């Protein structure tokens, strides 16, 4: 195959993935009603907030003459501050996210991408700025959506388990982390702390496959991570179940605890459940902290 | 050989391996099953978790048991177990195999032969010389010792005989034995004279082993006719148990086909060897019975042939003296009636009525003149085999019958008046009878002294008189004369039927003479004296299995021998025909009884069953394989690899594999039912799925057209695999030719040829008429030649204009499919078919053409999809649709032709038929 043809076919494959992702995410986003994004105080914005008496220092052009004509004083028309929020997305692209226990279930990665994209669409429609670590500062607009969709396409040379990237997050911005959080907890915890230090708040969504919740294994088994870098052999998988489930519950507790301490929200989502419920939770979580 | 529980082992030391089984058990428990590798992101959480126990999931005990059993089956299997091992204590020296080979052996002859074969095989292994002797057919000379193989090759020709060994000859033969040898005696289980002597002389030569079948031996004595019923006696050799046997009577039905006419049950009481059965059967049926047989017993002893003794002849008595008012004893027919009553059915009535009943014999007692019509009727009847017996008397003597010219219904010419001797007015003494000549049917009968003839009618001396006299008086004057007329006879007694003219009717001789003339039937079995001087020719013979066979050209047997003689090779059982009657000679005589042989204590008696050595290795190894298969499934299931859908599919593969064999039958049944419940068109599978789909769609379209337009309502077409499917269910096969299709096997060709010969039709379609003409110009054409070469195809010709295919339903002249070629070939008309004057068509061959060969891709034109849409375009526009319509019409004609043959050809004659009927 010539090089041009190979590039072309790869490009098409790449391009093919985007519109469905966009469309699906838009479809998902359309199911959520957009709410008000006002800051509940006067500031830059489009919406009327209040009239206040003009004070020394106010520029003459800021005086609302129509309102002032009705009375003796001078009034200034203030608008609600509608400064857009910046939301950073982090979607775990590690190999562990490629797992799906059943061919009818989406992989965790697919579900995470879908949720991230849908959240991005919602946010952009709401006028927020959305960004990802690798895309630079958050921006708004349709073009940013396309960029995000591109960035969600998995690259090569991925690690087994991912760690969120806090670098580049603006302070006091918002963040949405989507991952299975099955990897080492310490780096994650450090990153979270770093983020909390910057005043970044947000939501953590743990996406798990049903099999990871149930551990329905028995017999002699060698468990391997998706990248095959980690393996664990047991002679009797059924014996491990209880302890595994215990550890999983511990991990969830730790995540939840960490989130509580740093002012984040935590949600655990299963790929067997509908994406819509998770999106609603995300929408609420990001809105709640307004 | 090491034997355990009746099972021997060829390599018993391998059984030591069984000791290792407990060790294996422990090992199997210790070794963990191979691990499964699983990708699982949650592995990070597992890190550091330790297993509680150092060894794996315990292999469940039942899995261990399965594995242990498998191993045990393998060990035992390779140890070479043999069921029913032969105790091969090698005997040496010559071996004599004796078999009674009588009718009583016939019932289980195959087992006997099987046992003899086993004995021969054993003797062959030890290289013993063997002599095989049938006691019912003793060889001349010494014992023919030969190798066992020689005897084995002759064994199939070894058959039992329907007679028993002759005790005298046996004793003589046994006395002449020399040398030492062991003996196997295959006895038929019936007690006979001289058996023990024979046994003693055999035991003097070596060991004797007797083989006897435990099956009971039954016999059937000849049927007797007493008091209007048939009495049958069944006999048996063993009398211990109660038993019921069914006796069946066979005979020809009015259509001349042998059928079972009557059945009866013979019940044997315990301890009784006899069972009497009475059968009350209408005379008509009784006369037709040809043999009795015990159901299910294949032996000559269980067959009783019937002869004339069961038959009652129908005799018509006609006398002219009805008007006479006289004493009963003076009646012209009184003595005849007395003589015939017990043994014949007498018919009364007018001559015309009697002739309608077609009696066996008509007796005219002193009837002189017959009306021309009566005479003609009687002549015809005699010509057809009737027996006319006339008695003389005053009327005959006084009449002019047969005076100048011989009357056709009289054997001789008569002188006027007759004569009287020994009376008050005449000279001389009453005459007695002269001894019967050898040519006379009465030859051998003794003449009582007191028979005197005092009056008679006299025969004119004619050149042929002496040949017609069958009884005469001492002075040489004829007493009874006879002539043949057509197939029948005319007999004249020159005396009256009553005691007026002679004392003959008063004597026993009269009855015997009537018997010999077959006017009456012999009441019981004749004795030697009755049959003295007669020759009997066998017509049907019984073989040992009770099958009736044609006797061929066997020499005749003298009557005395027939009655007295023992059944033997010279006198085989069967039906013997003498003059005018038949006599049955059965294996079991009227007084014979059967009894079991009582062997002296110490004789080794064995049954017929050969306990065959059965090698159990195969079974055990199969069992081991089965165990291993179960183990495989169980292990998969245990290790979690057999779960969900994948597990189901694996399990279903196993289940299907196990169930494949029994389903074949059901499938073929289903196939037959589908093919025969309705008319079904069929096509040959070519292997090219596109062509096959087109064939199916085409035949479906044709079936729909037939359904809509004609009274033929075919079901869904079927695909035929030539190698496996039965062809005879289908009226027509559509065979598209592709260059790639494989040639059918030879068996398939045999079936195809049978199909063609028995009225099937194959439509070959090369589907290339658009590019090629008939012949080898295309690959399809060449393939067709190859395919059709082994087929039984008659000479072909292009469809002539007057072929019946052109008018079986539609009137057609073209036979298009998707292509429009005139090259469609069918069986050629016979060369002598000519066009008759005034007929539109030739009178063509009367059968359906077995092949139609063309290349117009008919299926393509007929093809419709499931939704009824046409699958392929035909031609262009309206002309194309017209062509498709004609193609359908051709299909309809084709199927009509197959199903109705040349019915439409015969319709040509309808106008002529209507004209003849005067319509």
pLDDT of B634-672, one tens digit each?
A: 877 776 666 555 556 666 666 656 555 444 566 778 888
Q: What is the largest CA-CA distance in chain B?
A: 155
Q: Which of B32, B39, B41 to mutate to test the interface with A (most CBs of A within 10 A)?
A: B41
Q: What are phi and psi of A280, to 5 degrees?
A: -60, -40
What residues have CB less than 8 Å from B916, skipping those under 6 apart?
Answer: none
Search chain A and give the residue with CA nearest B52. A239
B38 at A interface, C-beta within 8 A: yes
CA distance B796 to chain A (A): 59
> Would you state the pLDDT for residue B828?
81
Rounded to whole angstroms, the Cα distance separating B184 from B272 reads: 31
Instruction: Of B565, B587, B592, B564, give the one whose Cα is nearest residue B575.
Output: B587
pLDDT tens-digit series, residues B700-718: 999 999 999 999 889 889 9
**B80 pLDDT higher than 70:** yes
Instruction: Of A81, A51, A47, A92, give the one whose Cα is nearest residue A68.
Output: A51
Q: What is the largest CA-CA distance in chain A?
A: 89
Rounded to whole angstroms, the Cα distance separating B872 from B27 reads: 70
Contact A219 B53 (CB under 8 A): no
Cβ contacts (< 8 Å) between B639 and chain A: which residues? Answer: 218-220
Which residues lie across from B720 on neighbouring strands? B684
**B329 pLDDT higher than 70:** no
In the sheet that A129-132 helps form, which strands lie side by side, from edge to edge?
A129-132, A86-91, A174-179, A201-208, A265-270
Q: What are phi and psi of B129, to 5 degrees?
A: -70, 140
Contact B44 A182 (CB under 8 A): yes
Q: Give the SS3 label for residue B69.
A: helix
- Per-residue pLDDT, averaged over B846-872, amounts to 85
Domain ranges in chain B are 2-33+54-85+623-644, 95-216+596-606, 218-312+535-593, 320-516, 681-910
Contact A225 B55 (CB under 8 A): no
Run of H or E including B606? strand B604-606
Contact B46 A184 (CB under 8 A): no
Q: Scanning the structure block, which residue is given the tokens 């935590």?
A: A266
- Per-residue pLDDT, averaged over B554-579, amounts to 79
What residues have CB less than 8 Å from B915, skipping those under 6 apart?
Answer: none
**Is there a contact between B456 and B501 (Cβ–Cβ < 8 Å)?**
yes
Helix extents (H) in B271-371: 283-288, 334-340, 351-357
Cβ contacts (< 8 Å) between A238 and chain B: which residues? Answer: 57
Search chain B and give the residue with CA nearest A160. B41
Cβ contacts (< 8 Å) between B635 and chain A: which residues? Answer: none
> Would you state the pLDDT for residue B734?
93
Cβ contacts (< 8 Å) between B43 and chain A: which residues? Answer: 223-225, 230-232
What is the DSSP code (8-state) at residue B105?
Answer: G
Q: What are phi and psi of B269, to 5 degrees?
A: -80, 155
- Considering only residues B459 and B92, tell me which one the structure prediction assigns the higher pLDDT: B459
Lowest-confidence pick of A132-141, B128-137, B499-508: A132-141
CA distance A234 to chain B (A): 6
**Is there a contact between B760 and B734 (Cβ–Cβ < 8 Å)?**
no
What residues have CB less than 8 Å from B684, skipping those under 6 apart?
Answer: B695, B720, B722, B733, B734, B735, B736
Query: Which pair of structure tokens corresponds to residue B594?
Result: 């059967």
> Would you state the pLDDT for residue A3?
45
Contact B42 A248 (CB under 8 A): yes
B51 at A interface, C-beta within 8 A: yes
Lowest-confidence pick of A10-24, B444-458, B638-652, B846-860: A10-24
Write out the DSSP string of B484-499.
Answer: EETTEEEEEESS-SST
> Would you state the pLDDT for residue B839?
64
CB-closest option in A99, A180, A234 to B39 = A99
Rounded to whole angstroms, the Cα distance separating B462 from A206 reads: 141
Which residues lie across from B736 on neighbouring strands? B765
**A34 pLDDT higher than 60:** no
User: Residue A266 to residues A205, A253, A278, B535, B674: CA-CA distances in angstroms?
Assistant: 6, 10, 11, 125, 66
- Considering only residues B903 and B275, tell me which one the structure prediction assigns the higher pLDDT: B275
A51 at B interface, C-beta within 8 A: no
> Would you state the pLDDT for residue B169?
81
> Would you state the pLDDT for residue B698?
93
Rounded to whole angstroms, the Cα distance separating B241 from B273 reads: 10
> Would you state the pLDDT for residue A2?
44
Query: Which pair of structure tokens corresponds to residue B442?
Result: 């009465």
> Would you state the pLDDT for residue B517?
79
CA distance B655 to chain A (A): 25
Q: What are phi and psi of B399, to 5 degrees?
A: -85, 175
A256 at B interface, C-beta within 8 A: no
> Would you state the pLDDT for residue B586?
84
B46 at A interface, C-beta within 8 A: yes
Rounded to whole angstroms, the Cα distance separating B891 from B817 reads: 9
Write out the DSSP string of B342-405.
Answer: TTEEEE-S-HHHHHHH--SEEEEES-----HHHHHHHHHHHHTT-EEEEE--HHHHHS-TTSSS
Domain B681-910 has CATH 3.40.50.460: no
Confidence grade of residue B889 (pLDDT, cut at 50, 70, 90): very high
pLDDT tens-digit series, residues A176-219: 888 888 888 888 888 888 888 888 888 889 999 988 888 888 77
Cβ contacts (< 8 Å) between B42 and chain A: which residues? Answer: 182, 212, 215, 223, 244, 248
**Is there a contact between A179 and A112 (Cβ–Cβ < 8 Å)?**
yes
Search chain A and give the residue with CA nearest B51. A234
Q: Which residues of B572-604 are buried (b: 16+ CB within 10 A; e: fewer)?
A: bbbbbbbeebbbbbbbbeeeeebbbbebeeeee
What is the DSSP code (8-state) at residue A14?
Answer: H
A236 at B interface, C-beta within 8 A: yes
Query: Which pair of structure tokens corresponds to residue A47?
Result: 């919406």
Q: Give the SS3 label for residue B104.
A: helix
Cβ contacts (< 8 Å) between A183 and chain B: which residues? Answer: 44
Alpha-carbon Rg of chain A, whole angstroms?
24
First to last CA, chain A: 54
**A6 pLDDT higher than 60:** no
Cβ contacts (< 8 Å) between B39 and chain A: which residues? Answer: 99, 223-226, 228
Confidence grade of residue B620 (pLDDT, cut at 50, 70, 90): confident
Contact B46 A234 (CB under 8 A): yes
Cβ contacts (< 8 Å) between B31 and chain A: which residues? Answer: none
Neighbouring C-beta atoms of residue B242, cutoff 10 Å: 11
pTM, to two decimals: 0.42
Rounded to whole angstroms, the Cα distance separating B431 from B423 reads: 11
Q: What are phi and psi of B699, to 5 degrees?
A: -70, -30
Rounded to whole angstroms, the Cα distance separating B568 from B166 reads: 8
CB-closest option in B36, B44, B45 to A221 = B36
B47 at A interface, C-beta within 8 A: yes
**Is there a contact between B453 and B501 (Cβ–Cβ < 8 Å)?**
yes
What residues have CB less than 8 Å from B495, skipping those under 6 apart?
Answer: B391, B392, B453, B455, B456, B479, B501, B502, B504
Contact A224 B42 (CB under 8 A): no
- Considering only residues B683 and B123, tell me which one the structure prediction assigns the higher pLDDT: B683
Contact B46 A223 (CB under 8 A): yes
Domain ranges in chain A are 18-36+84-288, 38-82
For A18-36+84-288, CATH number out of 3.40.50.300, 1.10.287.1080, 3.40.50.410, 3.40.640.10 equals: 3.40.50.410
> Would you state the pLDDT for residue B862?
92
**Is there a contact between B766 and B854 (Cβ–Cβ < 8 Å)?**
yes
Q: Give the SS3 label for residue B233.
A: strand
Cβ contacts (< 8 Å) between B36 and chain A: which residues? Answer: 219-222
> Would you state the pLDDT for residue B576?
85
CB-closest option in B38, B41, B47 to A221 = B38
Q: What's the CA dihedral at B448, B454, B458, B463 to 10 degrees? A: 30
Confidence grade of residue B524 (pLDDT, cut at 50, 70, 90): low
Contact A226 B39 (CB under 8 A): yes
Contact A223 B32 (CB under 8 A): no
Rounded to whole angstroms, the Cα distance separating A117 from A124 reads: 10
Count residue pairs from A and B with Cβ separation < 8 A.
116
> Would you state the pLDDT for residue B838?
62
Confidence grade of residue B800 (pLDDT, cut at 50, 70, 90): confident
Q: Which residues of B836-861 are buried (b: 16+ CB within 10 A; e: fewer)?
A: eeeeebbbbbeebbbbbbbbbbbbbb
Query: Which pair of structure tokens corresponds to residue A163?
Result: 């760690």
**Is there a contact between B883 and B851 (Cβ–Cβ < 8 Å)?**
no
Contacts of B427-430 with C-beta under 8 Å, sequence gap 24+, read: B430/B454, B430/B502
Instruction: Of B303, B231, B309, give the one whose Cα is nearest residue B274.
Output: B231
Instruction: Of B593, B597, B588, give the one whose Cα is nearest residue B191.
Output: B597
Helix extents (H) in A52-125: 65-69, 108-125
For B320-516, CATH number out of 3.40.605.10, 3.30.450.20, 3.40.50.880, 2.70.170.10 equals: 3.40.50.880
CA distance B72 to chain A (A): 27
Cβ contacts (< 8 Å) between A217 and chain B: which residues? Answer: 38, 40, 640
CB-closest option in A108, A184, A219 to B57 = A219
Q: At CA B635, angle to CA B632 and CA B639, rounded to 5?
A: 145
Search chain A and give the residue with CA nearest B635. A219
Query: Which pair of structure tokens corresponds to residue B419?
Result: 């004569």
Cβ contacts (< 8 Å) between A161 and chain B: which residues? Answer: 41, 44
pLDDT tens-digit series, residues B814-857: 888 888 888 888 888 777 666 666 666 666 656 678 889 988 89
Query: Which pair of structure tokens corresponds to residue B608?
Result: 């017929």
CB-closest option in B43, B46, B638 to A219 = B638
A223 at B interface, C-beta within 8 A: yes
> Would you state the pLDDT for residue B792?
81
Confidence grade of residue B632 (pLDDT, cut at 50, 70, 90): confident
Helix extents (H) in B596-642: 617-638
**A35 pLDDT higher than 60:** no
A181 at B interface, C-beta within 8 A: no
> Would you state the pLDDT for residue A41?
61
Contact B44 A184 (CB under 8 A): yes
**B809 pLDDT higher than 80:** yes
Confidence grade of residue B58 (pLDDT, cut at 50, 70, 90): low
CB-closest option in A97, A220, A228 to B56 = A220
Cβ contacts (< 8 Å) between A235 and chain B: which residues? Answer: 32, 51, 53-57
């Amino acid at each position: 195959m010539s090089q041009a043809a190979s590039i072309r076919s790869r490009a098409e494959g790449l391009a093919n993935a985007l519109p469905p992702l966009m469309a699906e995410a838009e479809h998902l986003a359309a199911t959520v009603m957009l709410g008000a994004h006002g800051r509940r105080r006067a500031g830059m914005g489009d919406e009327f907030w209040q009239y206040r008496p003009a004070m020394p220092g106010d520029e003459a052009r800021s005086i609302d003459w129509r309102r002032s004509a009705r009375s003796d004083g001078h009034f200034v028309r203030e608008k609600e501050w509608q400064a857009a929020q910046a939301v950073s997305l982090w979607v775990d692209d590690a190999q562990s996210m490629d797992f799906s226990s059943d061919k009818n279930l989406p992989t965790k990665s697919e579900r995470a991408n879908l949720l991230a994209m849908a959240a991005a669409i919602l946010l952009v429609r709401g006028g927020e700025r959305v960004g990802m670590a690798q895309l630079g500062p958050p921006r708004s607009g349709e073009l940013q959506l396309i960029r995000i969709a591109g960035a969600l396409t998995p690259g090569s040379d991925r690690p087994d388990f991912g760690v969120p990237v806090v670098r580049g997050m603006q302070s006091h911005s918002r963040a949405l982390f989507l991952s299975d959080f099955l990897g080492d907890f310490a780096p994650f915890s450090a990153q979270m702390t770093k983020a909390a230090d910057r005043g970044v708040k947000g939501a953590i969504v743990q996406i798990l496959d049903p099999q990871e919740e149930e551990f329905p294994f028995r017999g002699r088994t060698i468990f391997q991570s998706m990248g095959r870098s980690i393996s664990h052999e047991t002679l009797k998988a059924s014996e491990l179940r209880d302890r595994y489930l215990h550890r999983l519950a511990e991990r969830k507790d730790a995540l939840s605890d960490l989130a509580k301490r740093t002012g984040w929200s935590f949600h655990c989502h299963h790929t067997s459940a509908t994406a819509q419920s998770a999106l609603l939770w995300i929408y609420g979580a990001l809105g709640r902290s307004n | 050989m090491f034997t355990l529980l009746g099972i021997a082992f060829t390599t018993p030391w391998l059984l030591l391996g069984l000791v290792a089984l407990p060790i294996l058990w422990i090992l199997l428990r210790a070794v963990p099953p191979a691990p499964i590798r699983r990708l699982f992101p949650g592995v990070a959480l597992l890190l550091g978790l330790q297993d509680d126990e150092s060894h794996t999931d315990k292999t469940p005990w039942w899995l261990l048991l399965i594995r242990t059993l498998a191993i045990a089956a393998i060990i035992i299997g390779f140890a070479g177990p043999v069921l029913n091992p032969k105790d091969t204590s090698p005997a040496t020296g010559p071996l004599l195999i004796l078999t009674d080979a009588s009718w009583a052996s016939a019932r289980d002859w195959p087992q006997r032969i099987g046992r003899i074969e086993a004995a021969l095989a054993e003797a062959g292994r030890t290289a013993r010389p063997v002599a095989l002797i049938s006691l019912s057919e003793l060889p001349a000379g010494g014992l023919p010792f030969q190798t066992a193989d020689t005897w084995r090759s002759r064994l199939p020709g070894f058959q039992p005989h329907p007679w028993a060994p002759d005790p005298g000859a046996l004793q003589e033969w046994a006395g002449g034995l020399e040398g030492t040898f062991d003996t196997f005696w295959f006895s038929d289980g019936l007690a006979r004279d001289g058996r023990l002597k024979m046994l003693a002389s055999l035991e003097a030569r070596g060991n004797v082993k007797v083989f006897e079948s435990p099956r009971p031996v039954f016999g059937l004595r000849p049927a007797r006719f007493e008091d209007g019923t048939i009495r049958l006696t069944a006999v048996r050799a063993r009398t211990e148990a109660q038993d019921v046997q069914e006796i069946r009577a066979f005979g020809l039905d009015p259509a001349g086909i042998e059928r079972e006419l009557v059945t009866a049950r013979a019940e044997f009481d315990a301890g009784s060897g006899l069972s009497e059965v009475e059968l009350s059967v209408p005379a008509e049926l009784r006369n037709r019975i040809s043999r009795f047989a015990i159901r299910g017993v294949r032996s000559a002893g269980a067959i009783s042939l019937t002869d004339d003794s069961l038959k009652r002849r129908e005799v018509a008595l006609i006398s002219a003296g009805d008007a006479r008012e006289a004493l009963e004893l003076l009646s012209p027919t009184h003595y005849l009636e007395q003589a015939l009553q017990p043994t014949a059915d007498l018919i009364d009535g007018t001559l015309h009525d009697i002739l309608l009943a077609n009696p066996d014999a008509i007796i005219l007692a002193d009837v002189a003149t017959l009306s021309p019509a009566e005479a003609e009727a009687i002549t015809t009847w005699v010509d057809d085999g009737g027996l006319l017996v006339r008695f003389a008397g005053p009327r005959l003597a006084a009449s002019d019958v047969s005076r100048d010219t011989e009357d056709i219904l009289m054997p001789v010419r008569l002188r006027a008046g007759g004569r009287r001797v020994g009376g008050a007015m005449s000279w001389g003494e009453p005459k007695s009878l002269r001894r019967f000549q050898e040519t006379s049917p009465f030859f051998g009968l003794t003449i009582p002294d007191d028979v005197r003839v005092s009056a008679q009618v006299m025969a004119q001396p004619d050149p042929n008189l002496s040949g017609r006299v069958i009884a005469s008086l001492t002075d040489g004057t004829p007493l009874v004369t006879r002539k043949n007329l057509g197939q029948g006879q005319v007999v004249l007694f020159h005396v009256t039927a009553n005691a007026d003219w002679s004392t003959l009717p008063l004597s026993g001789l009269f009855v015997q003479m009537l018997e010999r003339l077959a006017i009456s039937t012999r009441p019981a079995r004749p004795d030697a004296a009755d049959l003295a001087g007669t020759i009997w020719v066998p017509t049907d013979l019984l073989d040992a299995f009770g099958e009736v066979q044609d006797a061929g050209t066997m020499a005749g047997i003298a009557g005395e021998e027939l009655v007295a003689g023992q059944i033997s090779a010279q006198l085989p059982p069967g039906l013997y025909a003498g003059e005018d009657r038949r006599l049955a000679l059965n294996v079991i005589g009227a007084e014979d009884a059967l009894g079991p042989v009582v062997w002296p204590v110490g004789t080794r008696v064995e049954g017929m069953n050969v306990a065959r050595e059965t090698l159990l290795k195969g079974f055990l190894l199969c069992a081991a394989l089965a165990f291993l298969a179960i183990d495989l499934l169980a292990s998969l299931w245990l290790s979690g690899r057999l779960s969900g859908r994948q597990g189901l599919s694996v399990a279903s593969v196993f289940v299907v594999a196990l169930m494949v064999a029994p389903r074949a039958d059901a499938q073929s049944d289903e196939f037959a039912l589908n093919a025969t419940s309705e008319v079904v068109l069929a096509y040959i599978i070519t292997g090219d799925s596109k062509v096959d789909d087109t064939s199916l769609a085409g035949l479906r379209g044709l079936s729909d057209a037939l359904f809509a337009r004609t009274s033929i309502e075919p079901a869904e077409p079927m695909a035929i695999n030539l190698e496996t499917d039965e062809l005879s269910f289908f009226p027509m096969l559509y065979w598209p030719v592709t260059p790639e299709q494989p040639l059918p096997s030879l068996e398939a060709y045999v079936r195809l040829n049978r199909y063609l010969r028995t009225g099937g039709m194959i439509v070959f379609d090369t589907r290339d008429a658009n590019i090629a003409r008939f012949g080898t110009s295309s690959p399809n054409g060449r393939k067709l030649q190859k395919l059709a070469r082994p087929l039984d195809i008659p000479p072909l010709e292009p469809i002539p204009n007057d072929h019946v295919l052109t008018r079986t339903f539609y009137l057609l002249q073209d036979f298009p499919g998707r292509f429009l070629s005139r090259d469609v070939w069918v069986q050629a008309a016979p060369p002598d078919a000519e066009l008759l004057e005034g007929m539109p068509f030739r009178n063509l061959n009367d059968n359906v053409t077995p092949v139609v060969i063309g290349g117009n891709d008919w299926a393509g034109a007929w093809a419709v999809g499931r939704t009824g849409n046409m699958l392929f375009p035909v031609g262009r526009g309206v002309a194309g649709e017209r062509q498709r319509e004609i193609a359908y019409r051709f299909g309809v004609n084709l199927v009509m032709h197959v199903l109705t043959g040349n019915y439409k050809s015969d319709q040509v004659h309808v106008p002529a038929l209507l004209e003849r009927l005067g319509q």
